[in-house]
Every structure is written in C-alpha cells, then in structure tokens.
Amino acid sequence: MSKIYQHSTLAALMAKQMQGTTTIGELLEHGDTGIGTLEGVDGELIILDGEVYHADEFGNINHITDMETKTPFATVHFASDAANELALAPTDFAGLSDLQDQYAFKNNFASLRLHGDFKYVYVRAAPKSEAPYPSLLQVAQKQPTFTAENISGTIVGYFSPKLYQGTVAAGWHLHFLSDDHQFGGHLLETQTDDLSGTLESFSDFQIHLPIDDEDFRDHTPVLENLKQKIQSAEGGH
Amino acid sequence: MSKIYQHSTLAALMAKQMQGTTTIGELLEHGDTGIGTLEGVDGELIILDGEVYHADEFGNINHITDMETKTPFATVHFASDAANELALAPTDFAGLSDLQDQYAFKNNFASLRLHGDFKYVYVRAAPKSEAPYPSLLQVAQKQPTFTAENISGTIVGYFSPKLYQGTVAAGWHLHFLSDDHQFGGHLLETQTDDLSGTLESFSDFQIHLPIDDEDFRDHTPVLENLKQKIQSAEGGH
C-alpha cells in the first residue's frame, strides 16, 4: 500500500475554511514530501525530505521549523524507493502534464518530484487572508506572481484524477523551490533543461477532516459549479 | 483518528468495474463492520463483528467464510468504543435520515448500527452480472426487492457528505440483516419499533484503488451527470 495523505479539502478552502486546523508537526507524521499552505491560505508550502519551506506573497522563502505552525490544507506522502525514476528532456508545463498520458494513470493518484536546471520558472504565491476569511475564489483574483530565469531547483506535487475534483483540484498541482531556497511558489509555467527525479503512483488516498474544529464541522460547502470555481481559483493546470 | 476504509469507488462500478479486485480477507484487515457487494455486483454484504453475510438476488443469506471471496466495492471500519450510544423511538427511513440533522454532521462521514424489532423492512439485492459487465445503472433497473414484517435485526451503514458524491453515493447507505440470518439486503424503507445502537463520526476517509488491476487502471470514468446517474442507480436515499 502506498498512500497520499491530505488534510482537509479544496472545497473547504473555497467555503472560507482557512483557519489553521492542524500543525506542521502533525502533518509530518503522515509524510516527508508534499505541498500545502499556511493559516489564512498564506503562501505555498514545499515539503522536501521532511523540511518545510514557505513561499510567501512577498517573494520570500521561509524555512518553517516551528512544528506548531498551523495549516488549513496540505497534502503529503512518504517518498518511497518504489517510485519510477524519470529523466526528462527540456520541456514546459504542458510537457510535464503529458506525463499523465505517458504513464497512463488517469485513475491513479501520483506524485512527481523533479530536480534540475530551469531556463524559466513562473510561480504565484497566495496572499494571506485574515478572519473573517474570504473564499478561495476571491483570494485567487489578487495573487502575486514571480519569475526567475536560469535557476536550479525542484518541482514537487501531485496528479489527482477528475473524479476527486472538489476534494482536490483535479489534474496537476505542482510547487517549485530553488536550490538556494530564495525562490518558489505554485508553478504556473516553466521552460526546463534536462530534469531527473521520480514519479510514483498511489493505491490509497486518505482525506483527514478537521471535524473537531467547530467552524469546519458546521460550514456549508458550496457545491454548485464547484468545478468551474476551482478552475478559476486554481488555474487551468 | 477514526477511519472509514473504502475499496474502489461508486463511479468505478458505474463504469462497469465490477470484477473482484480484492478479497474479503484483505478487506477485513481494515474493518470488522461495514457493507459492500461481491464480484459482478452480486448482492449486498452486511459485515458485523468481523462476520460477513451476503444477501443474494434470490432472497438467500449466505455466510461468507472463504476469505478468498472477491469483491469490487466495499466500505468498512473498526467499531469503536468512542461511538455515540443511540436509542431511537419508532420511526421510518426518513426518521433515520434525520439523524444527520440531529447530530449535525453535514461535513463528517458517519456510521450507523442499530438493533431491535422492526414492523416492516423493505430491501433490495443487486443481481449478479457476468463479464462483460453492464453499468450499475443497467443493473439497478432489474433489482429484486424483498419484504419482511415483524422481524428483529440490525441496520448497518454509512453517511457520506455531498462533496464525496461519485466516490460514494452521498447521503445514507444502509443494509439490513435479520437476527436469524434469513433476511437482508440494501434498506429501502422500514417501520421500526424501538431501536438502540451506535452512531460514530469519522475524521478520516481512506479510498483504496485497485491500481494493479489493468481494467480498473485503464477504465474511463463517466463523470457527466454522475450525480443524477448515482441517484438513479442507488435510489433517493
């Protein structure tokens, strides 16, 4: 059994459930690799080898070492020796997405981790909101973007099948962190040189819901047109 | 952490993935209580205290003791002392459904197990299909139903929030087994006397996908109008 562990759902973020409902320490008990955000949908997390990096809306990368730091939403897994080894010729975001067809996993969850040199990396970082929280759709309309050229770094993230749209943003959801820990965020576009890394398929998807949080427990999810709203909030990828 | 474990998805059944992709033995490693069906969507499983009963399309109840028996879809959990104890005045299916409002778990998964006397129990049992399999929608159009009066037995099943429609049939999904193991199936309607039992909320929902099964891995889920199709196949409950 190989498992992806997710704290909360994208639909809950869409419905303003941005309060921190677990800690980074608890999250790391379920994986050493992954992505997420902090309380208030504050920036983009990149989790590599058990270390947590935070790309904030100001273009800074913060190394999160306080295990009590809170998050409303994150996805992790334990990196495994069972992952497929990959070597990729220069490509762009669409070329990364093609890995779905190449490895034919339309009904599988998968993780991707790639390292190498990049000609161009275009990322965004969600701006932190304060309570009372807006919806994710409102946050998405004012997200700062950042560009880097000729940089080495790591892409990490997940592929989720369409059936799970709502609990996740279906398709690819990838974050980037530079080797020097000075640049990162949610990957929007890229031009890569040769990259190498791993692609892993998962048999299990575990969703952990913060049902002890009163706001989460009682919130009303907005399921009408959720797919369209997620695409507006999370982008075409 | 309290967890529901599900093998495969309702959308996969809708897309004809009815081949047995795990065994009863493997399933019982993840729970001692639950519901499901056998290969070919053959009848209705009722799992109580680690024992597996099978209500077939002919109105028989079979005690499944061969741990190699295969299933395409099932949901289980380990019964816990943390469950809420319930005592219910005489009611009907709508009254059981009202437990959702009473216990306010619109964003929680929950399990229900109730025992007592019943004035009336109306169930159905899915007829077994052979490969090449039809869709669940086709199966649903020819399901035998059975009625019992003045019978004692157990209701067991789950509540799933609307967000998870597709991976499950959202709402209540309840099965019935009589104390004498002579009558059972998927509960469609009932008139109960006093019942007592447990209602448990879960923080975690783990979906296990049979990605080593080639047909499952490569099938094309039909996501258009899935909600309407599930309601047609699974009924209003």
Contacts of B21 in chain A (CB under 8 A): none
What are the beta bridge partners of residue B154?
A: B115, B177
Whole-number Å distance between alpha carbons of A27 and A51: 12
Whole-number Å distance between alpha carbons of B13 and A112: 28
Q: Does the distance separating the beta carbons of A105 and B163 come in below 8 Å?
A: no
Tokens in use for B193? Answer: 């006397």
Residue with tokens 């309060």: A19
- The predicted-structure confidence for B130-177, as pLDDT tens digits, reads as follows 999 998 888 988 899 999 999 999 999 999 999 999 999 999 999 999
ipTM: 0.95
Whole-number Å distance between alpha carbons of A50 and B185: 47
CA-nearest residue to B224 within chain A is A163
For residue A201, the SS3 value is strand
Q: Is B123 in contact with B146 (CB distance < 8 Å)?
A: yes
* Average pLDDT value for chain B: 94
Q: Does the distance separating the beta carbons of A12 and B221 come in below 8 Å?
A: no
Q: Does the distance separating the beta carbons of A167 and B164 come in below 8 Å?
A: yes
Q: What is the CA radius of gyration of chain B?
A: 16
Contacts of B203 in chain A (CB under 8 A): 208-212
What is the pLDDT averaged over residues A169-193? 97
CA-nearest residue to A7 within chain B is B204
CA-nearest residue to B209 within chain A is A203
Whole-number Å distance between alpha carbons of A125 and A172: 17
Partner residue opposite B209 with nearest CB, options A108, A162, A221: A108
- The predicted-structure confidence for A75-84, as pLDDT tens digits, reads as follows 999 999 888 9
Cis peptide before B132 (omega within 30 of 0): yes
* A225 C-beta neighbours (distance < 10 Å), count: 10
CA distances from A41 to A55, A220, B221, B223 (A): 11, 19, 32, 29
Contacts of B15 in chain A (CB under 8 A): none
Under the banding of pLDDT at 50, 70 and 90, the label for residue A235 is low
- The predicted-structure confidence for B80-125, as pLDDT tens digits, reads as follows 988 899 999 999 999 999 998 888 788 999 999 999 999 999 999 9
Tokens in use for B7? Answer: 């093998």
- DSSP H/E element including B89: none
* A99 C-beta neighbours (distance < 10 Å), count: 20
Q: CATH 3.40.920.10: does it fit domain A3-234?
A: no
